[in-house]
Amino acid sequence: MAIKSRNKKGVEFNMASMSDLVFLLLIFFMITSTLIAPNAIKLLLPASKSKTMAKQNVTVYINDQFNYYIDKRKVEENNLQHALSVELAPFSDGTVVLRSDKSVPIQYVVTVIDAINGINKETRQKHKVILATSPKK
């Protein structure tokens, strides 16, 4: 008479706890990713329906106190053209993205465009200026 064991060990793997862990990690990363601010300088961009995607080489910010920033570094208005020419030196056809607060008078935007045009005239290059906007609702 053969005696059979009642306690057989199964070779199956239970995936229920693994899927719970994956969902918890997913929720954790979704919550923490919303806490990261993409721009350190807070701006209210003007709204527009058009969408232009370009490779940006340099970013210029003008905040609501009319201060100029090149890639988060504050620059005085009289030193703007020189600072931009240093940033654009490695590029022959660079793109400058201008992120201006919507309360900034147009003269400050024109100052940045004039600085880029001055650099283009001196170096005979074709740098472009793109005005960043937020999507229109």
* Torsion sign (Cα): 62, 65, 68, 70: negative
Q: Residue 98 falls within a domain, yes or no? A: yes
Q: How many residues make up the chain in this entry?
A: 137
Q: Residue 72 falls within a domain, yes or no? A: yes
User: How confident is the model at residue 46, as a pLDDT?
Assistant: 61
- pLDDT tens digit sequence for 36-82: 655 555 655 566 666 666 677 788 888 888 889 988 888 888 888 88
Q: Residue 15 falls within a domain, yes or no? A: no
Mean pLDDT of the chain: 80
Domain that includes residue 125, residue range: 47-135
User: How confident is the model at residue 84, as a pLDDT?
Assistant: 86
> Cα–Cα distance between 93 and 127 in angstroms, integer?
5
CATH number reported for the structural domain that contains residue 98 in this entry: 3.30.420
Q: Residue 118 falls within a domain, yes or no? A: yes
Report how many domains make up the chain: 1
Q: Which residue has the tokens 């306690």?
A: 7
Contact indicator for 41, 75 with CB cutoff of 8 Å: no
Give one DSSP letter per residue of the chain, joined into a string.
-PPPPS-PPP-----HHHHHHHHHHHHHHHHHHTTS-S-SS---PPEES-------SEEEEE-TT--EEETTEEE-GGGHHHHHHHHHTT-SS-EEEEEE-TTS-HHHHHHHHHHHHHHHHHHT---EEEE--EEP-
End-to-end, the C-alpha distance of the chain in Å comes to: 82
- pLDDT tens digit sequence for 22-36: 999 999 888 877 666
User: How confident is the model at residue 36, as a pLDDT?
Assistant: 64
* Whole-structure pTM value: 0.60
